[in-house]
Each structure stands twice: as structure tokens, then as C-alpha cells.
Amino acid sequence: MLFNSFRFVLFFPIALICFHVLPRKAKAPWLLACSYFFYMSWNPRYIVLILFSTLLTYGCARLIEAARKDGSDGPGKRERAILVTGIVLNLSVLFLFKYFSFACSTLTAVLSRIGITAQTPAWDPILPVGISFYTFQTIGYMIDVYRRTVPAEKNLLQYALFVSFFPQLVAGPIERSENLMSQLRELPRPTYEAARHGFVVMLWGYFMKMVIADRAAIFVNAVYGSPEKYPGMFIVAATFLFAFQIYCDFAGYSTIALGAAEMLGIRLVNNFETPYLSTSIHEFWKRWHVTLNTWFVDYVYIPLGGSRKGRLVKYRNILIVFLLSGLWHGARWSYVLWGGINGVFQILEDCFSRLAEKYKKRPPTFASRCVKTVGTFLLIDFTWLFFRANGIRHAVSLLRSIAGTFNPWILFDGSLYTCGLGEREFRLLLIGLLILFAVGVYTRCRPTISAKIERQPLYFRWIVYIGAILAILVFGVWGSDYNATNFIYFQF
């Protein structure tokens, strides 16, 4: 069930109204039933995978706590063995459904290079939506129990709701137990102000998805699907727009999830903090997909030694984290390369920043910050080409087309209107991007626009709400042949 589908428009108000009117003891079971129904709307059979992950990690956490010796300073061998078993079994399901075919094809290709012909098992299931997200969320919970930062949850229903809470189930944010579990235990009664604010937040998420991301996707898909027809600067323009497509698509989902959860009285972690206004690669990755990056920092980077064991070990750890992050995004070598390039960028940036500190004489100016922001965006946008390409060979051919075709005039002679979007639609996209930029700058410097709106009189607020809904319906990607498009991160 997609957030931008008619089914969700029917589902969510029913779920919300019943949640408000049900007695306190019935609220958690109702949310759990809604969450399972929400997930089963894609493929009912895959509910088995969530149940397996839930029961496995719930049981492992309880066993870890039971194996803990009173007065001991740290985890013992038995606790460690239970944790490793839980992680291996959980990752095995993820590997089977997401990486098994990729591993077999890679092995076959390697063996064929040395003259060995091998047949691998035929296994290519449909990837269960959100499997990477809830797998990492449950593994993080087990590690937290092992580290004694949170107690093992004894109520299986509460834990099952933590794993499957429908607003963030299929594309994050990847919540930590200390934030989400404590709220689900209490299930505070939502206030009118929280519901109103959540509604405004959802509207902004729908604007990002339906007005910007879905419209940009038409242009990007046309160019990347036929690079021989759209060479050179067409690819540059498509890569530029893809940066905003993936941001508005993924941040749009996260924003809708935050708003929906807030209307239910739950505060989720903000997953995006205007990343394209960052002045460095390091800052960008602190603001992009925040919960995944903090997950890798806490559960991979720091256990590997972080930056405590010298600069070379630090750079090794950074590269490992980014390579794993690339692999997390998909079973394709171009994703791994994308992660590796971002890791190299961050390492080089750290090296140059150390040199720059020696010659730094005055604080940065507004002009220097603007230059750094543009430079950071261009470097990140370059890596998006590898992310969007259908493979490394496709990415290389796109780069060759950019380098070998000189046609900058297409940016000004109306040729861009032939890439799936007519002149009117393309201009609407540019207007949407300007609005996105203005809101980003405003929220970076001042309180959020929604907070500003909520301080206005009632009649003004409803004019804004109705106007926003009409703008999404009128300027969103709708039509007689409209299909509610998947969010990009559903495939991860």
C-alpha cells in the first residue's frame, strides 16, 4: 500500500479515527493489526518474514538478558554467542532474498574467467519491501540489549509493534528502541496541535513526492533509458534532476511517515536535514538518511575502532562503512562503487581539511560557504550517476557520452522539452525546485514554516491547508493514466 495511493487515503483515516476512539488497552493491538494489514497489502506471504525476524530477535534479546550474570562488568561468551546467532540468522534471510542471486551470478562470472563453467541454483524471488529496514532495526535492538543500553522487551505485542509500525515500516526511518519502544509502551494521547502539525508535515511530503519527484522521474527515466538518443548535456541535466528526484522521493516518504506518526502521537527521528545545503561531504552524510548513517556509525564504524587507532585505520573504517552502505542499497556492483566513491571523497576531504587548517587565517565568508555548498552538491551529484545507472558498464557509457558530446546549447534551445516533459510540465518542475530550495533555506535559518503557519488565525490556516491540497492535486503527476509510483527506497 503506497502512501500516494487511493487505498492509503481510505486506510489511514480509518486507522487514525479508530485509534483515537478505542480504549487505551486496545490501541496497541489495533496499531499492530493495521501495521500487518498495511504490509500484507503488497504480498500476504511475506508477513512470515516479519514474524520470523520479530520472534527471532525478541527471543534472542530475552536469552541475552537471561544469560547475563549479576554483577558482571560486561557481556560474557554466552551472551555473545546468542547475539552472533541472532545476527547471522537475521542476515541470512536478508541474504537469501536480496543477495543470493547476485552472489551466484558474481561467482559464476569469476569462475568463467578462469575457464570453469558452473551452474548455480535458480532463485530470484520478488524482494520483500522494507526488508533491509526492519532487519537493521531488529539487529540494532539486539545489539543495544547486548550492550545493556536498553532492557529486553518482555511484551511480545509491544515488540512486534516496534518492528512493524506501519508509517516507517517499509522505508524508514530506522528507529532505535530507546526512542520508539518507549513511546509505543505509553502511546500518549495525541493532541490537536500534534495532529494539526502532523497533517501539515504530511502535505509537504506529498508535495515533494507527487509534484517534484514523480515529475522529475519522467525526465530522468527518458534520458537514462535512451542515452543514445539523449547524449551529452541531456545526461548532465538528467543527473542533476535525479539528485532532486531521489531526495524528494525518499525524504518525501520519510516526511509523510513523520507526519502520519505524529498524528498518532508518535515522534519519529527526522531522517533528512536539508542535505543539499551542506558545505562538505562529511556534513552531507550527517544530514542524508540520518538513521542509516548513525546505525553504521554505532554498530560498524565504532566497533571497528572508529578514529581511535590512527588516521589509516580511520580511513579504512570509513571506506568499509561506505562500501557496506552501497551494498545495503542493492545487489549490484554499481551501488558498491557508488558507496566507495563517497567514501573516497570523505577521506580526501578529511586530508585536505587538515592541510587547510594550517593556513586558515579568517572565518569563512558567505561567498565561501556558497562555493563550498555548490562544490559539495556537484561531487554528490556525480556519484548519483553511478547510483541511477543500470550497472557499472552503463555508468561508464554515460560518462563517455558526457565527455564525448559537446551540446550545451540544448539547455537553452528547448530541447529539454522533448525528454518526456513538455514546456509547461518542465517549468512546473523548476518552480517546484525553487519552492523546495526556498523552504530549505528558510527552515535552515528560522523555525519551520509549519510552526509559522500554526501561529496564524484559524481561517488563514485552513486557507493554507486547502490551498496546499488543491496544489498537490492540480500540479501533482495525475491523469487518466496515472499510476501511484513506488517510492525508490522500497526496493532496498
Instruction: Report pLDDT for 235.
Output: 94
Q: Which three cell numbers stand for residue 264?
A: 498518532
Q: Is the peptide bond before 173 cis (omega within 30 degrees of 0)?
A: yes
Res. 31 pLDDT band, cuts 50 70 90: very high
Each residue of 116-169: pLDDT tens digit?
776 767 666 677 778 888 899 999 999 999 998 889 999 999 999 999 998 888
Q: What is the mean pLDDT of residues 458-468?
A: 68
> Are 215 and 142 found together in one domain?
no
Pairwise CA distance, residues 468 & 206, whole Å? 10
Contact (CB, 8 A) for 172 and 489: yes
Helix (H) or strand (E) holding 316: helix 311-329
Does some domain include residue 129? yes
Residue 86 within a domain: yes
* Mean pLDDT, rounded, of the chain: 85
Boundary (domain end) residue, out of 138, 160, 187:
187
Q: What is the pLDDT of residues 177-216, one digit of tens each?
A: 888 888 888 887 777 788 888 888 888 888 888 888 988 9
d(CA 468, CA 473): 9
Tell whether the model's pLDDT for residue 50 goes beyond 50: yes
Q: Which residue has the higher pLDDT, 463 or 488?
A: 463
Q: What is the pTM of this model?
A: 0.86
d(CA 203, CA 197): 10
pLDDT at 473 (0 to 100): 64
Q: Is residue 308 part of a domain?
A: no
167/208 same-domain check: no
pLDDT: is 24 or 455 the higher one? 24
C-alpha distances out from residue 236 to 219, 259, 266, 276, Å: 12, 34, 41, 17
Asked if 214 and 138 sit in the same domain, the reply is no
More confident residue, 164 or 454: 164
The predicted pLDDT at position 395 comes to 93
Instruction: Please compute the mean of the pLDDT values over residues 321-327 and round it to a whole number.
Output: 92
Is 173 a residue whose pLDDT tops 80? yes
Same domain, 77 and 210: no
Q: Could you tell me what percent of the chain has a pLDDT over 90?
A: 37
Residue 82 shares a structural domain with residue 217 = no
Q: Which residue, 27, 86, 79, 100, is CA-closest to 54?
A: 86
Residue 70 lies in a domain: yes
pLDDT at residue 87, as a whole number:
93
Residue 271: partners with Cβ closer than 8 Å, 6 or more residues away: 172, 173, 250, 251, 254, 258, 289, 290, 291
Whether residue 39 is found in the same domain as residue 132: yes
Higher pLDDT, 465 or 349: 349
Classify residue 145 by burial, with Cβ atoms within 10 Å: 0-12, 13-18, 19+.
buried
Q: Output the pLDDT for position 482.
A: 43
Rg, C-alpha atoms of the chain: 24
Q: What is the DSSP string of 202-249?
A: HHHHHIIIIIIIHHHHHHHHHHHH-TTTS-THHHHHHHHHHHHHHHHH
| Dihedral sign of CA atoms 439, 440, 446, 448 in order | positive
Asked, for residue 330, whether it belongs to a domain, the answer is: no
In the listed set 187, 220, 255, which residue is the last one of a domain according to the structure?
187
pLDDT of residue 476: 64
Taking the CA atoms of residue 292, residue 294, residue 295 and residue 300 in that order, the dihedral angle to the nearest 10 degrees is 120
What domain range includes position 427? 194-272+389-491
| Residue 395 belongs to a domain | yes
Per-residue model confidence (pLDDT) at position 491: 56
418 and 435 co-located in one domain: yes
Residues 259 and 401 in one domain: yes
Residue 358, pLDDT score = 65
Q: For position 466, what pLDDT does the model report?
A: 73
Quick one: pLDDT at residue 487?
56
Give start and end residues of each alpha helix (H) in 330-422: 333-359, 366-388, 392-404
Cα atoms in the 13 Å half-sphere on the side-chain side of 472: 17
Are 129 and 240 in the same domain?
Answer: no
Q: End of a domain among 165, 187, 209?
A: 187
89-102 tens-digit pLDDT = 999 988 888 888 88
| C-alpha–C-alpha distance, residues 477 and 490, integer Å | 19
Instruction: Based on the fold, state whether residues 222 and 164 are members of the same structural domain.
Output: no
Identify the residue with better confidence: 87 or 420. Answer: 87
Written as nine digits, the cell of 399 is 560518462
> Are 63 and 41 within one domain?
yes
Q: How confident is the model at residue 115 (pLDDT cuts 50, 70, 90)?
A: confident
Say whether pLDDT at 17 is over 80.
Answer: yes
Predicted local distance difference test score (pLDDT) of residue 378: 94
| pLDDT for residue 484 | 46
User: Residue range 376-397: average pLDDT?
Assistant: 93
Domain count, the chain: 2
Are residues 39 and 110 located together in one domain of the fold?
yes
Q: Is residue 158 assigned to a domain?
A: yes
Q: In this structure, what C-alpha cell is assigned to residue 284?
A: 552531507
- Three-state secondary-structure class, residue 8: helix
Q: Is residue 198 domain-resident?
A: yes
Label residue 479 by pLDDT band (50, 70, 90).
very low
d(CA 66, CA 79): 9
